[in-house]
Amino acid sequence: MPKIVLVTGASSGFGRETVKMFAKDGYKIIAIGRRQERLKELKKELSECDIYTISLDIRDKKEVFDAIENLPLEYKNIDILVNNAGLALGLEKAQNALIEDWEVMIDTNIKGLLYITKAVLPRMIKRKSGYIFNLGSIAGNWPFKGANVYGSTKAFVQQFSLNLRNDLKDTNIRVTNIEPGFAKTEFSKIRFKNDDKKADSVYDGFQPLVGKDIANIIFMLSKLPLHVNVNTLEVMPTAQTWAGFALEQNC
First to last CA, the chain: 66
What SS3 class is residue 232?
strand
- Tell me if 85 sits within 8 A of 113, measured CB to CB: yes
Set 52, 115, 150, 203: catalytic member = 150
Q: Which amino acid, 152?
A: S
As a dihedral over the C-alpha atoms of residue 204, residue 157, residue 175, residue 243, rounded to 10 degrees, the angle is 40
**Alpha helices (H) along 2-112:** 13-24, 36-45, 61-69, 99-105
- Contact partners, residue 198, CB within 8 Å, separation at least 6: 188, 192
Residues in the chain: 251
> Is 150 noted as a catalytic residue in this protein?
yes
Report, as residue numbers or ranges, the catalytic residues: 150
